[in-house]
Structure 1
């Protein structure tokens, strides 16, 4: 399925299968469901799950971020399985361009005025899976 959000905050569920979910502008709640999903919150502050909350599905989800993505949160990043892709973000060319802030049971990756908090992932765990990140 292809799901596109509007200008207002959206709640989108992908359900079964390999979904493409785009939140658009404003803050969104985006859920991939079971399957290898591609989730892009767009601009503003978004909350994203590759599967339904509390359910790790083992499928390789891709969380995409474009320039000026805002302050986003990823709640079920599966280390060594899921991917993070930065699309045409000027100056962001490799993992070391991100500033990591250790939050104990979570870590925030900061670049300029934008940030992503990975809940349930430590800084050491995120640093160990740098290959899960791509920069185009």
Structure 2
């Protein structure tokens, strides 16, 4: 294993084809783990400065340290720690663990079944398009966070603060574990509906399937359904231009008594 140290200046450090330890020290550094195989593990430490860390191949550990960093795991099962500052981190392929810690961070799992923890600050978490194992886990932590599982059946924990859970028609059937009435909100993007006329609240899942509303919430189960048929009852089996057929969007555990005030519909 090679040890590749930086200096107090702005360094550009590249690893070998084997496992490496690369430390940026002070300065705005660029650290690249190199082209090792999938069984090699690089350890990259940005330390102080606005650094850029790239794990590339292998199961890597990336730690941004202080200041505003960009961290990319790429291939392999990576662990990415953002540290202090408003950081940007992406897991890339495979199964990754991303930790935002302090700062307003943007975390993206990429493909694979990933675990994202925003930590402190107002964070934005995106699970990515992984559905090979079906589950991304997103934890907002402390702060007013935005969570979007994207594709796959994902597990969403807002944590402390006023959080927003975001859904698109092509996403999977997610679970919200800790929705706080009067504080958290559900944002529905590209569903093309008017909450004043196309949002219905019913007592059961069976009643949801007979509703002609485009978005239907079952207060009996906490499930939110999408009906692309519009005026026709039933969830439909065709795409109809939305990227997916109708059905369950998300289940809100505890089946809270949601109203239209708990939903956000962004302007097109």
Report the TM range for the smaller structure's normalisation.
0.7 to 0.9
- Of 130, 133, 136, which residue of structure 1 is paired with 2:260? 130
Other structure's SS at 2:261 match: helix
What is the rounded CA distance, in whole Å, between the counterparts of 1:115 and 1:134 in structure 2? 15
Tell me the equivalent position of 1:37: 145
Larger Cα-atom Rg: 2
Residue among 213, 216, 227 paired with 1:99: 216
CA distance in 1, matches of 2:193, 2:128: 21
Which residue in the other structure is 2:113 paired with?
9
How far the C-alpha of 1:92 sits from its partner, in A, is: 3.7
2:167–2:249: 8 Å Cα contact kept in structure 1?
no
Instruction: Describe the shift of the 1:29–1:108 C-alpha distance in structure 2 as closer, same or farther (beyond 3 A).
Output: same
C-alpha distance in 2 between matches for 1:100 and 1:121: 9
Note the aligned Cα RMSD (angstroms). Answer: 1.5
| Other-structure match for 2:170 | 68
Cα contact 1:66–1:86 (8 A) shared by 2: yes
What is aligned with 1:83? 185
Relative contact order, higher structure (CA 8 A, sep 6+): 1
- The structure where strand makes up a greater share of residues is 1
From 112, 119, 129, the equivalent of 2:253 is 119
Between structures 1 and 2, the one with greater helix share: 1
Tell me the TM-score normalised to structure 1 length: 0.82
- Matched residue count: 123
Confirm or deny: 8 A CA contact 2:138 2:147 kept in the other structure: yes
Question: Which of structure 1's runs of 4+ aligned residues deviate more than 6 A?
Answer: none
Alpha-carbon deviations, 1:78-127, whole Å to 9, x = none? 001001101112x4442333223344xx51011113421000233xx11x
Partners in 2 of 1:15 and 1:36 — Cα distance?
Answer: 11
SS in 1 for 2:110: coil
Aligned-partner Cα distance in 2 for 1:108–1:120 = 10
Cα deviation for residue 77 of structure 1 reads 0.4
CA contact (8 A) 2:124 2:147 kept: yes
- Contact 1:14–1:32 (CA<8 Å) still a contact in 2? yes
Given that 2:138 and 2:157 are in contact with CA atoms closer than 8 Å, whether structure 1 keeps it comes out as: yes
